[in-house]
Each structure stands twice: as structure tokens, then as C-alpha cells.
Chain A
């Protein structure tokens, strides 16, 4: 593994991945890969998650195509030097921030959206000019295999490589030195990744999870709220890091919510959910059993059927859930929706704040003031008001967690920035030495006054201001030369 990283580092050092044209070629190749091998990719994802190919396309492939197009369209602007405001002393100099690649980055994916969670970061890493190793999750075997097969066929094999394997391979990989690590997964492993990164002072982006609360106000369009929540909760069989994990609402709303979700489930998946091509399955037996155990002792208002052979768990709602029960202690990551009653929005806010900061937070209400209040008084990675999941799709919004739900963010421009070093540059000339005399010892009080004036006043660009300032600078230089 060390040799593999070394090889990538050599290739990176050669400078090949830096020219914009090269990066765009690689991105275009990725796009071709997604388009030409769509069938293979979709069937791999479908096999891993018992997902229809249509779903696989809309859940994963759309996002990647959008991301690649974004990068292709915006790369010149993203990679360009950004000028910075100057002060008097640097007025005639060039001051800017230049984005640069970091080097060799490591991207560790998760199994729930196995394609997009590798590809979207990879698009960012390539756009920023890095070399990259991707490590798909071994739980989504088919996607891992297809990535290992396809990526080397389309991308520069010296700069980008796929490493597959389980815990021991990942541990070995984490011993190597990278210039950035982006990990998507759970909190426990997130800590391990950051600890490993600390040994090399490698910066990390951790996309973790948590229990994303969903507060339903009594003053909201309950039909629409339930429809949207049903969609976000049961998509991918609940195995979505930003799925609404649990609902908080006043007790009086519970029954209606259950009824409406039940109706919506029927609309979406038909009478016989098991036969709907749009309803997925649990990834493996371990998670299936875990989810089954969450149902123990709970009041199942709707659903609750399970079938171990196919790892099927019906869309389920639990009511009157005890906040101390198991289902409220861990991220559910399955098609089980607990409803916890609270007296009012105050109690809901306290409930949320008593717990770890979630990756996403959802609020349904007609009352914009209430929505703003919930946002003001809580914290989370992201928020969608009156809907679920959707903030993920706006790629001008950074996607990431806070506290136990993660650190750092990506998507669109934020991917580019995550995988770049923004290097401040100040280019001066070798002239103008007389002004510099201000700063050299031997020192005097008057020198201090001038030094502060020159150093610490900032000016924005404006033709007239520049002219005035240039004159001032010249005058000052002359004074300085005369008297100091």
C-alpha cells in the first residue's frame, strides 16, 4: 500500500495533474464513463441495495453528472487567483489567493449511496488538481467491484487508483500519509480516521451522521408534510444519512400523521409493498437484525413486517415513543419512523438541543417566524424547511455536519475548496526601498506612527482612491527620505 501511495505521489510531483486542461480531460472521461457504462453502474448499485435501476439513476447518477458539469463549467473560475484588498504599503504590489492542489487525497466511501459517495468527492479532488485513492465500502460489493473495474479504464492510472477491502485494508491505508482524507460513514470510525490523520497532520473532512429530527408544527399543511416526509424517510429503505430520523410533534397530531403517511405509502408503493420495484431492501443481515431489535417493545402504528430472507422491512411508524428507548439512542438508518410527542415548539427545541448536533434538521410549518426560531435556537449541519433532503441537491450550499455529525463540507465549489490549499501570495518589487526605511531599526516613536498608518489602513479598489493613495504614497516616500 505504501508503494501505491508513493507511486501516486511521484505522479503528482511530476505536475501532470495541475494544468486545467488535464483536469478537464479527466472529468470529461469520468462523464463518458458514467454515460457509456450506465448499465453496468446501475445494475451494480441495484444489486447492492435491491434498488430499481431508475432509482439508482435518480438517486446517484444524476448528482454525479450535475457535479461534473458544474466543475467543467466553473473550473477556470474556481482555479483562478483571487485578488485581495491591499493596504497603503502594498498598494503597488500584487496580492492574491491562489488555489493549489494538496497532493494525494484519500476518499473513503459508504455503502448506502455507494457510487455517488465515492464519485462526488472524486470529482472535487480531480478538479482541484490532486491525485486520489478511493476506497469504496466493502459492504456494497458490486459497486466496489465496478468502480475498481471502470475507473482505471477511464482515468489516468498513475494518478487515481481504487483500493478495495475490509477493515484491515482500510487500517493499512490509514497508516499511509495523505494530504487530505474525506471519510463518509459513522461516528465511531470517524474518530479512528481523525486519529490516524493526526499522526501525519492530515486535514480531514468527516461526513458522519446522527439522528436528524423532523419537527411538525400544528400549523402546517399536514398532507404535504407527510407526503414529503414519507418520500425522504423511506427512500433507499431509510438508509440515508439525511433521512428524517424521527418526528417531534404535539400528541394531537400523531394519529393524523400516521394516517397520512400510511396513505402516502400506499400511493408510492402500492398495496403489496414487497412487490414494488421502487422499495429497496436492507443492505445486510447485521443491519437487518439491528433494525429488528429496535422494534422490540414499541407501539407499531403501521408496518412492522419483516422478512429475513429478503431483508425486507416494511415502512414502519412507531408512536408514543419513549425518548430513552433504543430506537431513540442510535441513528436508525432504516424504514422505521418513531414519533415522539412534545408539548410545543419550546420542548421540541430543548429535545433537539439535549442531543448531539444532527446532520440535518427539518421543520414543517406555515409560520416562517417559527421556522426561523427553530433554526436560530438549534444547530445542525443543514436545514430544510417544509421539506426533507432537498438542501443536499442545491450544490451552491455546502454539505457537511457539525459536532458529532461531522466536520468540513463539500459539493460544488466547496468540494473544490476542500481539496485545495488557498495560498496567499504577495508579490513586491525590489524598488521602493526608501519607504521600507520606516520599518528598519534604529526605531523612533514617529516611525511607529507612520508604520501603523501604512500597514494597517486598508483600501478597496477604486480608480480615484488609487490615484489619491498613489500620490500620498509618493509624498510619504519623499517625506520619509527627507526626514528619517
Chain B
């Protein structure tokens, strides 16, 4: 019997009373989340600055505002999302009622990483709550300042019989995962993703895994190098590169590289000044472990821009590496830091082969003046999401589902997709006791004539009727 057993039992009991079902309850919880964000904005910004040296701009735009927007979207649409979804019927069921009922699963576990600790907590949480579930939240122990606020402040804004925060490291998380949940939502890396899925398998718990990978960024020839450089640099160095959807590496021709590198330097200087370490707009690496890991990668290829690091500050300069070989460590793991390798390829085909030789990434980027090039990259590759001529802007549209494929993950969320992810889609057919004459067709003793008539009755209205 471990420390989680009681908590989980209580949450399950609360769920079984039906408390989380009414729209009013869910809306009240969502409003609580909204108030949490508004009341504690200052503290949240400070915590994010403390954990990741996040600038106010980044905190606002990528953590607080996005979370707020999801809360608002859910509040606006809750009732319509909750409605039974009517579906089309066949002749035999014409007088019946056929619909999909969206139901909560029950007890949901949300495991959060450290890189966008507020956003990656709140956005799934909004979905889970809107869908009527009880939630156990496991924030990352690595982003300590936010973890504290989530553990101590957030519960005050929610009904604590239906929501709990659980703290701990890998060992505690492992213990937690031995328990049965009705849904598990995990954001993090593939290695732990496999562990989560294996644990979920023991209870047949459905899951969403938001993982990562190396997001390729193909840059075609004849692009305006400065525009490309601005965009790539911003998305790469945002949050000091610790973004699952950041462009991980560039693929371009030698000629393009020669234009891109000075343009990147230009962009970096413009964004962060001559000494980026003094810029308030550049984040820091989360901890020693990752700092050392990234420091090691600085030795790959040749440093064309940046390359400086300062352990006492967990600072790594916005860096661009060139002459990078596919076999070097920087091309073997997801970088998750402010280092951008450039790999040269002869042409588009080589770039596409390069991409397809590797695991399907979470995001894929292609920059080109020619829409056929963009469309080709799209058609010949696969990835969680795709953006042409920009970085992870596709994430800001909650009308687009966000998730991975292959080793970058399974399942998706954001906006209505969050609600659907945390809901069981229950197929319902309510028949009338009448119309038994038609039903007689299906009963034994069977006959060919009955079969023919039955076939007609079973075809959907929209299809053309064919009698055997």
C-alpha cells in the first residue's frame, strides 16, 4: 500500500458520485483555472524566470496566454462539445435515435515535463476537466519553482475531491504508474513514453503520448535568406531551444548554407545583442545534466556562430554548427537546446531521403518560394505536424490537432481535440419497440427472400440501393 492509494481511491469515489458530470461543475472548474492564471500571473512569471530564465514575453505568449486561451475556448464551447453527436442512419434504423455520447473516462493521469511546465499542465488539464474527468497531476520535479505553485496554489482553485497533485521523481512516478488509471496523458521523451505505455498495458489504459524527435527544417535555394534566418532562429532559440517542436536541424544546399549562416548571425545579434548572455530575452538550460549534455554537443562539426557556454549560469550561446556528419552525436539525439546544426544536401530528393531514413518527427519544416517544393516535401514525408515557411506556428491554432506519429507520439490534443481525447465516444442506438415486422426479417428460420429484403433495409440512405 503506497501513499497514492488513498488519494486515487478518493478521486475515484468522487468520480463515481457523478459530481464531475454536470456542465456547471466543469465550467466552474475551468473558471477556477482562469482565475488561477489571472491571480497568480506575477508569481507564475517569476517561477518561469527562475526555472528557465524565461522572459516575460515568452512566459506570456507561450505559457500564460496560451493556457488562458484554451480555458476560454473550453468555456465558450463546453456545452456544444458535450452534446450528443447525431449520426446518419440506414433504412432499418430510420425511426430510431442514433448518436455518439461523449463521456468522461474517469480518473485521468497527466504527466508533465519541465520545458513549458505551465502550458503543458494547463492545456491537457483543461481538456480532461472539460470532458468531466477527475485528474491526478504529476508536474515535473525538474522545474521546481512551477512545481511548487502547481502543488500549493493550483489546488485551491479547483474542487480538491476531484483533483490532486502528486509529487516526486522517476521512482515515485514508477510507483504511480502501477496503479490503474482510466486515461494517461504523457508529455516527454520516447524512452519514458515506452515505459508509460507498458505500464498502461497492464491495465488496458488508453493513452496519449506527446513525445519528440529531431524536427528537420529544409531550406530550399533561392529563398530570402534573412527572412528564413529570422524565422528559424526565433523558433530555434525560443526557450533556449528547449521546445519539442523547435526546428532541430537544417537541411540545405552548400550555396544556401553560405547565405544562411551570416543571416542567422544577423538575426541572433538583432534578437539577443552582441553578448547574448546579457540579453533578458534568452532563456537558460534547465539544469546541470542537460547543460553538460549540450556542452558535449558543441564539439560536433564546426562552430560557425556562438559556441560559448557558462556552467555557473547554465548558459549556452545561440549556436550554429556546420560541416556536421550524420553520425555525430548532435545528429543522433533530439538536441533540445540552442544549437542548430546545418547539414548540407545536394538537392530536394536527398533531403527527403535523409528525412525518411529517420524516425517520424513531431514537426517538419520546409522553406521555399515555390509551393510545389513545399507540397512535395509534404507529400513524400510524414510527421506529427507541418509548417511551410515558418516555425511552429501551427501549434498556435487550436483548430489544428497537435500530436506526433510513430516515435514522436500517438494521440493528439488542443482545443476540441483535447475534449475528444479525454472522452469515451459511446455509440448509442435507441430503437423503438415497434417496427417488429421489419425485424422479423432477421429472425430464424432464415430464408433467401428475407435476406434480400434485409439487405435493402440495411443500406445507408445516401448509398444507391441494390437488390441482390
A residues engaging B (CB < 8 A)?
13, 15, 52, 54-55, 57-58, 62, 66, 69-70, 73, 84-87, 89-90, 95, 97-98, 100, 102-103, 179, 187, 190-191, 194-195, 197-199, 201, 203, 206, 208, 220-221, 224-225, 227-228, 231, 267-270, 276-279, 353, 364, 366, 368, 371, 375-377, 379-387, 390-391, 393-400, 402-404, 406-409, 421-430, 433, 436, 439-445, 447-448, 451-452, 455-456, 458
Contacts and interface: CB of A to CB of B under 8 A. Distances in A.
B282 to A, nearest CB: 8
B397 interface: yes
A210 to B, nearest CB: 11
Contacts of A199: 194, 198
A52 B446 CA distance: 9
Interface string B382-398: 11111111100110111
A359 to B, nearest CB: 11
B246 to A, nearest CB: 14
A279 B443 CA distance: 12
A191 B202 contact: yes
B430 A208 contact: no
Contacts of B209: 201
Given A100-B382, A375-B101, A452-B61, A441 B271 contact: yes
A384 B96 CA distance: 10
B169 interface: no
B200 A194 contact: yes
Contact of A194 (B197, B399, B460): B197
A433 B382 contact: no
Given A203-B410, A425-B394, A426-B387, 11 more contacts: A54-B447, A69-B463, A194-B204, A208-B204, A278-B445, A376-B21, A379-B426, A384-B430, A390-B429, A424-B386, A439-B234
B194 A90 contact: no
A445 B56 CA distance: 8
A231 B442 contact: yes
B98 A397 contact: yes
A190 B399 contact: no
Contacts of A439: 61, 234
Given A368-B430, A391-B428, A421 B61 contact: no
8 contacts: A54-B446, A58-B451, A86-B399, A203-B411, A277-B445, A423-B383, A427-B371, A433-B230
B98 A421 contact: no
Interface size class of B (residues with CB under 8 A): 35 or more
A403 B182 contact: yes
B88 interface: yes
Contacts of B100: 397-398
B389 A424 contact: no
Contacts of A87: 396-397
B208 to A, nearest CB: 10
A201 B193 contact: yes
B190 interface: yes
Contacts of A443: 55-57, 281
A368 B96 CA distance: 12
Contacts of B281: 441-443
A385 B428 contact: yes
B390 A395 contact: no
B271 A385 contact: no
For chain A, what secondary structure do more than half of its interface residues adopt (helix, strand, loop), or is it mixed? mixed
A220 B433 contact: yes
A70 B410 CA distance: 27
B426 A402 contact: yes
Nearest to A371: B430
Interface string B5-34: 000000000001010010000000000000
B89 interface: yes
Contacts of A66: 458-459
B393 to A, nearest CB: 6
Contacts of B69: 456
Interface in B223-250: 223-224, 227-228, 230-231, 234
A447 B197 contact: no
A396 B436 contact: no
A421 B98 CA distance: 27
A390 B93 contact: yes
A252 to B, nearest CB: 20
A426 B402 CA distance: 12
Contact of B382 (A201, A221, A380, A423): A423
A57 B396 contact: no
A208 B201 CA distance: 13
B130 to A, nearest CB: 17
A436 B229 CA distance: 12
B59 to A, nearest CB: 9
